[in-house]
Structure 1
Amino acid sequence: MTKRTSAKYKIDRRMGENIWGRPKSPVNRREYGPGQHGQRRKGKLSDFGMQLRAKQKLKGYYGDLTEKQFRKIFTEAERVKGDTGENLIGLLERRLDAVVYRAKFVPTVFAARQFVNHGHVTVNGKKVNIPSYRVKEGDIIEVRDSSKQNVAVLDAIGLAERDVPDYMDVDHSKMSATFVRTPGLGDVPYPVMMEPNLVIEYYAQN
């Protein structure tokens, strides 16, 4: 098992939830956490514990972003007019790796980061290899011609476990996606409940 895959499953086990809705998640079989103390009975979480967990879950979902990356996005969400929680979700969903994942060009958000890193994606006809690149409404994201027969891409398109959300317009025959609009929390098809309001509370106190 690669480090990337084991890390992905470790996040699921640590959270005690199948945060990507994957059929192979170990949480489907064992709901306790990883490690020798994983089966200990869990006490009730404090308010801080719930806030920290909400932050870890959201941060983990987008490929286990570093604390520095995540805090930077949060700070930007605070600066923009409107609801900070909604802004945070919108900024996370505008990441190029998240868009590639939502378009079902790859099976996982971890694979999306690698796919972008390796130069398989263009935005408005130009190659972009930065996973954190922020797409704008109307941007056209495409898989490069040389990568369209990639086995992982073809497998991902056939995955029945998730659908393309309606804030994206995807043509799998052309391996092309248009980012139609920035979504809010209610638009994003998270398999588990995300609580950006608790993330805001966490950063307000820390």
Structure 2
Amino acid sequence: MHTFDEAAQAVISLAQFCSHKGWLPATSGNLSVLVERDPMKIAITRSGADKQRLQADDILCIDEHMQVQTETAYRPSAETSVHIELYRKFSCGSILHVHTVFNNLVSELYGDEGAVPIHGHELLKALGHWEEDAEVSIPIVPNYADLARLGQAVAEAAHAEVPAVFVRNHGIYAWGDTPEAARRHLEAIEFLAEYVYRLGVARDIG
């Protein structure tokens, strides 16, 4: 576990990494790191924060009921509910939600199938799949406007084989046991999303 200050600094570092990649356009996305598991406390980006310029007061300490545990004028992101549901389901230590062109494209292209299949790619090793013919399916859920419903849908679709869920035409939630693992998983899946899309385009042209 972390102190809140340690978790908040980890969130800021993750935001800097994701912003450098161009994965947090405008004020989109939300990032969190677990502070305590029981009772649950997490450090998470506030609603409306520019993730490219995060300051310490842009990180809130939230309990499992989405109640802010520190004095602040800010409120948590409405999508905090998705983070809470994932922390409840898995023993993860960090959750990253970003919006990119390629995760939007593949989630829309495969939305009716309900998952993006990936087979035999080297980057699957970053997700813990070392077998030669590894295959995973990254789930896709609808982009429900009701965020409590979205949190439940993401948690229900999530499974241990792959640490991510796409929200159709919206973004991705990726997680890991540590902030470093969450970052690695997100980076691998973003690469794979772009690969899957570009491969499909190449095949259509061919």
Q: TM-score, normalised by structure 2?
A: 0.23
Normalized per residue, the structure richer in strand is 2
Tell which structure's C-alpha radius of gyration is larger: 1
